[in-house]
Structure 1
Amino acid sequence: VVVDRIFSGIQPTGTPHLGNYLGAIQNWVNLQEEYSSVLYSIMDMHSLTMPKEPAVLRQNILDTTAAVLACGIDPKKCFLFRQSLVPEHAELAWILGCLTNVPRLLRLPQWKMKRASQNNEGTVGLLTYPVLQAADILLYKSTHVPVGEDQVLHLELAQDIAQHFNKKYGEFFPVPKAILSTTKKIKSLRDPTVKMSKSDPQKLATVNIADSPDEIVLKFRKAVTDFTSEVTYDPATRPGVSNLVSIHAAVTGLSIQEVLHQSIGLDTAHYKMMVAESVIQKFAPIRNEIKKLQEDKFHLIKVLEDGAEKAKEVAAPIYQEIRRLVGFQ
């Protein structure tokens, strides 16, 4: 009997930004209501693929945890845990890495892109992190994985690895299916041709969910649009305004059409303030909750440890069976 099981992860980059929230976390909150078995992981092992100071990583793990809890992730409805507290992730990644050919990994666009940011050197971890992602998913025999567009190829790798393992060792892993986010990719407020990113050097490009109302107003006021003052939705020719419309629709839960209807007669300058206001309203309670949670570091650590204990209870028997199948036992 295959249990429907959701697995997803978030890299601990500190407090998430608007794009993380609308693209992933909001979806996570809904999925924990719909499925009975749900695992969400703070991917601290993955975060080592880009250089980090240990003190920064420690703080980022806590800040990311506080943020997802504040957004409505409920440890009673899902297992929220830190990846590195469940060592089977790394152990399974080794086994799966031995079934994965290198040329396949070299073709993945994320490798090419991120390698460029590391002077084209690129570490073993950066090359093989999609294999660790496959292990993250398969360790729990997950059936569904919420992913953004940029991770679809990595999920395809996980699907292929699952099938390869099943062919070699007998039917064992369910082949996990994607749950694609319905939210349009949120773009940078300074350059609407690229996605909103934590690492954007332009401070005004990215709205963080803990930003103050003043910061949010400033960022939207300075958002890059074009020389037409009317509000329309046409991502190809008017990416800046269309990004604002996408954000407005996503934070209010309205359709693109409904949002456009609300903005009839507004020029883009006034519309920016309308969007800023809806973002402030959406995040005010979340921002207050983040502050509260950040004051109790030990509570955050305990949530992650308790979640890891529960995750291990699911992973351990599955991993024992994998050991037996490959001949370790």
Structure 2
Amino acid sequence: MSEFKQLVFSGVQPTGNLHLGNYLGALQKFVALQDVHECIYCVVDLHSLTATLVHEDLATQTRGIAAAYLASGLDPKKSIIFNQSRVPQHAELAWIFNCVARIGWMNRMTQFKDKAGKDRENASLGLLAYPSLMAADILLYRATHVPVGDDQKQHLELTRDIAQKFNNDFSAKIAELGIGVDMQVGDEKVSGFFPMAEPLIDGPATRVMSLRDGTKKMSKSDPSDLSRINLSDDADTIAKKIRKAKTDPLPLPDNADELKDRPEAQNLVGIYAALSGQTSADILKEFGGRQFSDFKPVLADLAVTKLGPINGEMRRISADPAYVDSVLRDGGERAGAKAEETMKMVHEIVGLLNN
């Protein structure tokens, strides 16, 4: 039997402005991956409905994420770039996975608990089933690798659980059709239709924290705009936010281990390291023993140098929505062809009559 062809899939919701954390934790890695893997990058507009059902302008927000993809360096000739709702097979496979997944699995998802809060009975069914749609996003293309942040790792583990249960439940039919693929699951070599997708989590700043509270993740939903650096921020705004970033009164340490109990210092050093391509230890060799009043202006200059061109390119691309739409339309056609191939086989496996 053959093995799965390596393919990377990931997506970003069109809710709010993308920020520095999205760039360092996701977009920067997306760009690097497209040179060594086949990559599919999606604007997951269906997922955004679980956060806010009624959007002021979902189409504009979707184009904005696509523009950020392109401005960051994603090449629509190297990667498939599209918005999720253009390919209806995402929702179709998600329904099948809703029947594979168990309610107990969904109830254990940390993100569901956090977003639903105490009034779980009032949460939408879509919010509960969010991980099932995420599994469909990945497995529709039989992706083998997913660049994810720590907060999405649990969802990817559930994707693997869904894939394994589907493979087990339909093992006889998969064998009969001769469409199983060899894969390694733990110490065992097995065959199945869907792969066990692996997370890609690396780099010095996969989790960028708030500029106002180093114990909280930088977030699009934080009510304070000073908590994050948006990719749409101009140079003056970036410098202002870094200047106002929360710090402690001590100078920067000489040793990276001494940052562990200083979350704001650790965050700023981590941001500098990620933007410069260095390690935290490298940064502290230069700035150890110095005050934040020395460090922040240098960090601000670096952030402006790195993000300024992206900001300008985003503005240029966003001013031409017809071009953005053409990229998404072309990507949707290419993604749709792959999705149709997968779903044709899923129909055969499950026994759905569609000939």
Query: Does the CA contact (< 8 Å) of 2:14 and 2:43 recur in 1?
Result: yes
Cα displacement (A) at 1:58: 1.7
The structure 2 residue matched to 1:173, chosen from 180, 194, 203, is 194
Query: Does the CA contact (< 8 Å) of 1:231 and 1:268 recur in 2?
Result: no
CA distance in 1, matches of 2:307, 2:119: 35
Cα displacement (A) at 1:214: 1.0
The corresponding residue for 1:200 is 222
The structure 2 residue matched to 1:245, chosen from 266, 269, 283, is 269
When residues 236 and 118 of structure 1 are mapped into structure 2, their CA distance, relative to the original with a 3 A threshold, is farther
The corresponding residue for 2:103 is 102
CA distance in 2, matches of 1:297, 1:117: 41
Letter in 2 for 1:210: S
Query: Does the CA contact (< 8 Å) of 1:249 and 1:256 recur in 2?
Result: yes
CA distance in 1, matches of 2:318, 2:201: 31
Query: Secondary structure at the residue paired with 2:100?
Result: coil
The corresponding residue for 1:134 is 135
Q: In the alignment, is residue 8 of structure 1 matched against residue 10 of structure 2?
A: yes
Cα displacement (A) at 1:56: 2.6
The structure 1 residue matched to 2:204, chosen from 183, 188, 194, is 183
Query: Secondary structure at the residue paired with 1:196?
Result: coil
Task: Provide, for residues 233-261 of structure 1, a one-character-per-residue CA deviation record: whole Å limited to 9, x for no partner.
Answer: 44431111111100000011111111112
Letter in 1 for 2:347: R
Query: Secondary structure at the residue paired with 2:42?
Result: strand
Cα displacement (A) at 1:38: 1.1
Q: Pick which of 109-118 and 250-259 moved more.
A: 109-118
Letter in 2 for 1:196: M
CA distance in 1, matches of 2:245, 2:352: 57
Q: In the alignment, is residue 31 of structure 1 matched against residue 37 of structure 2?
A: no
Q: TM-score, normalised by structure 2?
A: 0.89
The corresponding residue for 2:68 is 67
Query: Secondary structure at the residue paired with 1:200?
Result: coil
Query: Does the CA contact (< 8 Å) of 1:16 and 1:64 recur in 2?
Result: yes
Q: Pick which of 229-238 and 108-117 moved more.
A: 229-238
Query: Does the CA contact (< 8 Å) of 1:79 and 1:310 recur in 2?
Result: yes
Task: Provide, for residues 266-320 of structure 1, a one-character-per-residue CA deviation record: whole Å limited to 9, x for no partner.
Answer: 3111211111111000011111101100110111011111100000111111110
CA distance in 2, matches of 1:65, 1:231: 40
Q: Pick which of 228-237 and 90-99 moved more.
A: 228-237
Query: Over aligned residues, Cα RMSD in angstroms?
Result: 1.5
Cα displacement (A) at 1:263: 1.5
CA distance in 1, matches of 2:65, 2:327: 12
Cα displacement (A) at 1:120: 6.3
Cα displacement (A) at 1:168: 1.3
Query: Does the CA contact (< 8 Å) of 1:15 and 1:67 recur in 2?
Result: no
CA distance in 2, matches of 1:303, 1:55: 23
Cα displacement (A) at 1:55: 3.6
The corresponding residue for 2:295 is 271
CA distance in 2, matches of 1:124, 1:269: 49
5+ residue gaps, structure 1: none
The structure 2 residue matched to 1:212, chosen from 234, 240, 243, is 234
When residues 261 and 65 of structure 1 are mapped into structure 2, their CA distance, relative to the original with a 3 A threshold, is same
The corresponding residue for 1:143 is 144
Query: Does the CA contact (< 8 Å) of 2:210 and 2:219 recur in 1?
Result: yes
Q: Pick which of 13-22 and 137-146 moved more.
A: 13-22
Q: Pick which of 228-237 and 184-193 moved more.
A: 228-237
The corresponding residue for 2:115 is 114
The corresponding residue for 1:261 is 285
Query: Does the CA contact (< 8 Å) of 1:231 and 1:271 recur in 2?
Result: no
When residues 117 and 33 of structure 1 are mapped into structure 2, their CA distance, relative to the original with a 3 A threshold, is farther
CA distance in 1, matches of 2:164, 2:304: 46
When residues 288 and 266 of structure 1 are mapped into structure 2, their CA distance, relative to the original with a 3 A threshold, is same
CA distance in 1, matches of 2:74, 2:17: 14
When residues 87 and 319 of structure 1 are mapped into structure 2, their CA distance, relative to the original with a 3 A threshold, is same
CA distance in 2, matches of 1:147, 1:3: 20
Aligned length: 328
Q: TM-score, normalised by structure 1?
A: 0.96
CA distance in 2, matches of 1:249, 1:178: 22
Task: Provide, for residues 118-145 of structure 1, a one-character-per-residue CA deviation record: whole Å limited to 9, x for no partner.
Answer: 7862100000010000011111111111
Percent sequence identity is 41
Query: Does the CA contact (< 8 Å) of 1:42 and 1:61 recur in 2?
Result: yes
Cα displacement (A) at 1:154: 0.5
Q: Pick which of 109-118 and 57-66 moved more.
A: 109-118
Query: Does the CA contact (< 8 Å) of 1:231 and 1:267 recur in 2?
Result: no
The corresponding residue for 2:244 is 222
